[in-house]
Amino acid sequence: MVALLACRSEPIPAPVEHGLPVLAGERGAVGRLVVLVDSPPLSGAQQALLRRHDAAPVLRQSALDWLDARGRFAPDGELSLHVHIRFVRLRSELVALLFGRASRADRLEATITVKRGDRRLADFPVRVASSLGGRAWKDPEERLQRMARVLGRRVAEGL
């Protein structure tokens, strides 16, 4: 009976650390990090929201800081990261103030592409959600920038 169950098990997934794929055997420094907010499936309103609250520069700086602190960033590095923001949801100030955790969470999602030159090494999704609300977290810009900082760290941790 045990042998039968073992045969029906799922295939072993790719290595994962902190919920993100790890590039097994691929090492090197990141020399370029690009954050894209002008591509579908983002609507024009979502793109404007990200630009208005400086989400892309905050995300980029967060990832670069994390990489630099761990010796994974070098201006002449051979790896490049392309972060395509795919989805953003940000509650209004009123909803965050009055309903906090009772309302749907703010969310920021991206797809990361890791390249060495023109060769694509990996693609993986990254997501962060936050239900912070109330008086301390009513400001939409502060909530979005916090999510961008966390997402930037998760992008770098995926390496």
Task: For tokens 């969470």, name the residue.
Answer: 105
Q: Could you tell me the pTM of the whole model?
A: 0.78
pLDDT at residue 23, rounded to an integer? 52
User: Looking at the predicted structure, is the pLDDT value of residue 101 above 60?
Assistant: yes
CA distance 74 to 4: 51
List residues bridging with 128 in a β-sheet: 108
List residues bridging with 33 in a β-sheet: 81
CA distance 49 to 56: 11
User: What are phi and psi for residue 64, nearest 5 degrees?
Assistant: -65, -40
Looking at per-residue confidence, does 63 or 25 come out higher? 63
pLDDT tens-digit readout, 61-83: 999 999 999 888 998 999 999 99
pLDDT tens-digit readout, 6-21: 334 343 334 444 434 4
Indicate the DSSP class of residue 8: T
Domain 28-157 sits in CATH at 3.30.160
Query: What letter represents residue 100's amino acid?
Result: G
Average pLDDT of the chain to the nearest whole number? 81
pLDDT at residue 147, rounded to an integer? 92
Kindly state the average pLDDT of the residues 139-149: 91
